């Protein structure tokens, strides 16, 4: 089952799982993502028996699909389901109440098939559709898509969007989902749910009529137990044509239910704009002093010796000056190598210095400007230490890596420059040295992202200098001087600086001053 985990772009106030309908896939939710990720960690799932090309067993039941969802979903989340996905969300709320904080359905009917006192699709019309699907799945699904777009202001545009979202041709894997639509009847189930419920119907829906609103509202004892709202000028394809309405009503509903409590959020590490500016300025001098970076990168290249297959697309993440581009191109001559860095100045320098036509991008590792499932191999040497939201980083790696892909990386751990940190601590309590995340925090972040496996190893690298000033000058030339938000403002006094230099002397061995780098080697594999 294909999934994506997309951490919030702002302060995460809630976990949100999105469930699509029959004949669709997780791509239907793309217009909604930018509108909800400001407050939600989002899990996207291609549902078995609902998404084309997702393999299922011969007798797949809703319980099987729900077990698959729970295996990749957060321990507790708000579930937002469209069409059949809404019915599955209701089933999940009933059978696993501890895992579901609230339920929101969009264009969903607790009983899809009409009854004497219940609006829905006619039983005969649905049976004819089932028979048509068994004969010609592709033609039947095209007809179904046309029905979904009816009532929209621009139906042809929506149909073209649907075509671009399709991941593969439909087949027998969707037959169980049709059977679920035929028999699910949750009219007695939904009034007893303990979780807050919001049901959004579309004004011009041809499959789940807006006339359902009064009878659906009649299931609930009071408006406090559930809300029913109508999306104006919307069709059954509301996730595509009414994403803003869905996002606004969802946010308002969850806030009123007390489920959007802001968590304590403190930006750690340096601001990304400061990192980009510093390394852009250092581009011209970087390679002349990057001894550690080059040595560590060569060690990392050795991890590529057992790459299982020739990658078609290789991402050099945090490529800097492009120093390792020639080696990557030589190792993978049949692949496309992309150099990506946060610092525009580094990309400009690399584009000018690296021979041959290249593929260069300015971008943030925590928000990669790359398509989902577009990269086979990521190489990243001493770059991601500037990412202080590791869950976001690993979620992006999981998103862009194809199944079976991998990322090899190095980063710096918290014991980096321990001698310099100790020397400064002897003279004041301010932060003079950049802080980096421990391997335990990286491992915990990766464990929260479904679909990946992380392995880590720590190695110590010790550089030596005759004077502390050599180390400080090198850090400045690299662009890696102190950039933390808590760094001292203004110039350091001569007395304080002299005290730090004197304290550093206690580390001198055989006439040389050590500078230790806590280097973490890691490998992320998609599973």
> Mind telling me the catalytic residues?
83, 205, 236
* Domain match, 249 and 277 both: no
Mean pLDDT across 439-453: 91
Provide the 8-state DSSP code for 193.
-
- Tokens 């009878």 correspond to what residue? 215
Task: Compute the average pLDDT of residues 454-469.
Answer: 96
Domain ends where: 256, 286, 304? 256
Would you say residue 34 lies in a domain? yes
Asked whether 108 and 86 are in contact (CB, 8 A), the reply is yes
- Reported as a single tens digit per residue, the pLDDT across 46-60 is 999 999 988 887 788
Q: SS3 for 215?
A: helix
State the pairing for strand pair 100-106/40-45: unpaired
What is the arithmetic mean of pLDDT over 209-217? 90
Predicted confidence band of residue 236 (pLDDT cuts 50, 70, 90): very high
**pLDDT score of 324:** 97
pLDDT at 266: 45
Domain boundary among 229, 256, 283: 256
Domain identity same for 284 and 247: no
Looking at the domain assignment, is residue 397 inside a domain? yes
Q: Identify the domain containing residue 239 by its residue range.
A: 3-256
How big is the CA angle at 154 (ends 151 and 158), to the nearest 5 degrees? 90
**How does pLDDT run across 264-308, given as a tens digit for each residue?**
444 556 788 889 999 999 999 999 989 999 999 999 999 999 887
| 495 and 382 fall within a common domain | yes
Asked if residue 124 and residue 34 are part of one domain, the reply reads: yes
| Residue 24 domain flag | yes
Of 227, 256, 285, the residue at which a domain comes to its end is: 256
Q: Are residues 252 and 305 in the same domain?
A: no
264 domain-assigned: no
Residue 261 lies in a domain: no
Within this chain, do residues 10 and 93 fall inside the same structural domain, yes or no?
yes
Both 276 and 245 in one domain: the answer is no
- The reply to whether 236 and 127 lie within a common domain is yes
Q: Do residues 228 and 342 both lie within one domain?
A: no
Specify if 172 maps to a domain.
yes
- Indicate if 336 and 472 belong to the same structural domain: yes
Q: What is the CATH number of the domain that holds 37?
A: 3.40.50.1820
Q: What is the CATH number of the domain that holds 433?
A: 3.40.50.150
Q: Tell me the average pLDDT of the chain.
A: 91
Identify whether residues 228 and 358 lie together within a single domain.
Answer: no
Count of domains observed in the chain: 2
Does a structural domain hold residue 263? no
Span 173-212, pLDDT tens digits: 999 999 999 999 999 999 999 999 999 999 999 999 888 9
| Predicted confidence (pLDDT) per residue in 100-147, tens digit | 999 999 999 999 999 988 999 999 999 999 999 999 999 999 999 999
> Same structural domain for residues 225 and 309?
no
User: What is the pLDDT confidence band of residue 480, given thresholds at 50, 70 and 90?
Assistant: confident
Give the distance, in angstroms, between the CA of residue 372 and the centroid of all CA atoms in the same chain.
10
In a domain, 267, yes or no: no
What is the token pair recorded at 306? 């057992």
Task: Check pLDDT > 70 for residue 1.
Answer: no
Task: Give the contacts of 290 (CB within 8 A, at least 6 positions apart).
Answer: 323, 478
């Amino acid at each position: 089952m294909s999934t994506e985990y997309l951490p919030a772009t702002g302060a995460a106030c809630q976990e949100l799982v999105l469930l699509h309908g029959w004949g669709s896939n997780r791509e239907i939710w793309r217009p909604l993502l930018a509108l909800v990720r400001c407050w939600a960690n989002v899990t996207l799932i291609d549902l078995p028996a609902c998404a084309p090309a997702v393999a299922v067993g011969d007798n797949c039941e809703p319980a099987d699909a729900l077990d698959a969802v729970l295996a990749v979903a957060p321990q507790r989340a708000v579930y937002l389901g469209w069409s059949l996905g809404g019915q599955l969300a209701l089933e999940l709320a009933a059978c696993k109440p501890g895992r579901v904080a609230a339920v929101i359905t969009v264009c969903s009917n607790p009983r899809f098939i009409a009854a004497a006192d219940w609006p829905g699709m006619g039983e005969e019309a649905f049976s004819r559709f089932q028979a048509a699907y068994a004969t010609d799945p592709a033609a039947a699904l095209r007809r179904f898509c046309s029905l979904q777009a009816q009532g929209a202001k621009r139906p042809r545009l929506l149909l073209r969007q649907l075509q671009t979202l399709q991941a593969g041709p439909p087949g027998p894997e969707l037959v169980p989902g049709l059977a679920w639509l035929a028999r699910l009847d949750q009219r007695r189930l939904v009034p007893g749910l303990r979780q807050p419920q919001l049901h959004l119907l579309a004004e011009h829906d041809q499959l789940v009529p807006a006339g359902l609103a009064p009878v659906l509202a009649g299931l609930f004892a009071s408006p406090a137990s559930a809300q029913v709202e109508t999306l104006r000028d919307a069709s059954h394809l509301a996730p595509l044509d009414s994403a803003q309405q869905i996002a606004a009503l969802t946010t308002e509903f969850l806030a009123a239910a007390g489920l959007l409590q802001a968590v304590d959020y403190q930006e750690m590490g340096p601001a990304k704009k400061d990192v980009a500016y510093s390394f852009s300025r250092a581009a011209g001098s970087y390679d002349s002093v990057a001894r550690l970076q080059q040595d560590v990168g060569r060690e990392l290249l050795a991890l590529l010796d057992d790459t299982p297959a020739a990658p078609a697309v290789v991402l050099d993440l945090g490529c800097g000056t492009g120093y390792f581009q020639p080696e990557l191109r030589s190792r993978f001559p049949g692949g496309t190598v992309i150099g990506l860095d946060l610092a525009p100045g580094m990309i400009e320098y690399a584009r000018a210095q690296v021979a041959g036509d290249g593929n260069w991008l300015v971008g943030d590792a925590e928000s990669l400007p790359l398509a989902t499932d577009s990269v086979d191999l990521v190489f990243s040497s001493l770059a991601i230490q500037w990412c202080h939201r590791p869950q976001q980083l690993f979620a992006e790696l999981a998103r862009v890596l194809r199944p079976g892909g991998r990322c090899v990386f190095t980063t710096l751990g918290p014991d980096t420059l321990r001698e310099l940190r100790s020397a400064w601590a002897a003279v004041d309590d301010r932060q003079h040295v950049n802080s980096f995340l421990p391997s335990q925090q990286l491992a915990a972040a990766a464990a929260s992202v479904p679909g990946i496996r992380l392995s880590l190893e720590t190695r110590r690298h010790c550089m030596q200098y005759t004077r502390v000033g050599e180390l400080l000058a090198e850090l400045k030339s690299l662009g890696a001087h102190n950039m933390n938000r808590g760094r001292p403002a203004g110039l350091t006094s001569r007395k304080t600086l002299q005290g730090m230099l004197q304290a550093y002397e206690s580390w001198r061995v055989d006439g040389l001053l050590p500078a230790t780098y806590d280097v973490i080697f890691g490998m992320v594999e998609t599973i």
